[in-house]
Structure 1
Amino acid sequence: MKYTNITVAGSGVLGSQIAYQTAFKGFNVTVYDINEEALERAQDRIINLTQRYQEDLGASEEEVNSAYNRISFFYDLSKAVSHADLLIEAIPEVVQIKTDFYKELGKVAPEKTIFATNSSTLLPSQFAEATGRPEKFLALHFANEIRKNNTAEIMKHQQTDMKVFNEVIEFAKAIGMVAIPLYKEQPGYILNTLLGPFLAAATYLVMKGISDPETVDKTWMAATGAPIGPFGAYDVIGFTTPYNALIEKAKTGDKETVKVAKWLKTEFIDKGKLGRESGEGFYKYPHPHYMEPDFLKN
Structure 2
Amino acid sequence: MSIENVKNVAVIGAGSMGHQIAMLSALGGFETVLQDINEKALEKAIDMLEQRMNDWVNKGKLSEEQRRLAFQKLRTTTEIKEAAQDADLVIEAVVEKLDVKREVFKLLDQYAPSHTILASNSSSIVNSKIATVTNRPEKILNMHFFFPPLVMDCVEVVKSEETSDESVQIAMDFCKKIGRTGVLLEKEIYGFIANRLLFALSNEAVYLYENGYADFKDIDLIAKKALGHPMGPFELMDLSGIDVGYYANMELYKETQDPKDRPAKCVEEKVKAGELGRKTGKGWYDYRKEVISR
Contact 1:136 1:160 in 2 (8 A): yes
Asked whether the equivalents of residues 94 and 244 of structure 1 are also in contact (C-alpha less than 8 Å), the reply is yes
- Residue 258 in structure 1 maps to residue 262 in structure 2: yes
Corresponding residue for 1:147?
150
Look up the SS of the partner of 1:202 in the other structure: helix
| 1:120 matches 2:123 | yes
| CA RMSD, Structure 1 to Structure 2 (Å) | 2.3
Alpha-carbon offset, residue 264 of structure 1: 2.2
Partner in structure 2 of residue 182 of structure 1:
185
SS in 1 for 2:113: coil
Instruction: Label 1:247 to 1:221 Cα distance change in 2 as closer, same or farther (>3 A).
Output: same
1:252-282 deviation per Cα after TM superposition (whole angstroms, max 9, x unaligned)? 323344351x432323x33332212222222
In the alignment, is residue 219 of structure 1 matched against residue 222 of structure 2? yes
Does 2:267 correspond to 1:281? no
The secondary structure found in structure 2 opposite 1:88 is strand
- Once residues 284 and 52 of structure 1 are traced to their aligned partners in structure 2, the CA distance between those partners, rounded to angstroms, is 25
Gaps of 5+ in 2: none
SS in 1 for 2:102: helix
The aligned residue for residue 202 of structure 1 is 205
Note if contact 1:13-1:45 (Cα within 8 Å) is conserved in structure 2: no
Size of the aligned set, in residue pairs, is: 288
Where 2:226 maps in the other structure, the secondary structure is helix
TM-score by length of 2: 0.90
Matches of 2:155 and 2:58, distance apart in 1: 23
Q: Percent identity?
A: 34
Alpha-carbon deviations, 1:73-103, whole Å to 9, x = none?
1111111112111000111111111111111
Letter in 2 for 1:68: F
Question: Are 2:241 and 2:276, in contact at CA under 8 Å, matched by a contact in 1?
Answer: yes
SS at match of 1:272: coil
On the 8 A contact 1:53/1:147 being kept in 2, the answer is no
**Residue among 221, 230, 240 paired with 2:243:** 240
The alignment status of 1:21 with 2:32, answered yes or no, reads no
Give yes or no for contact 2:250–2:263 (8 Å, CA) kept in 1.
Answer: no
Partners of 2:288 and 2:70 in 1: CA distance: 25
> Which letter maps to 2:178?
I
Indicate which of 78, 81, 86 corresponds to 2:81: 78
Give the drift of 1:62: 4.1
Letter aligned with residue 275 of structure 1: G
Looking at structure 1, the residues matched to 95 and 205 of structure 2 have their Cα atoms a distance apart, in angstroms, of 24
The 1:20/1:126 distance shift into structure 2, 3 A limit, reads: same
1:240 CA drift (Å): 2.1
Deviation at 1:189, TM superposition (A): 1.5
Structure 1 residues 108 and 181: CA distance shift in structure 2, 3 A: same
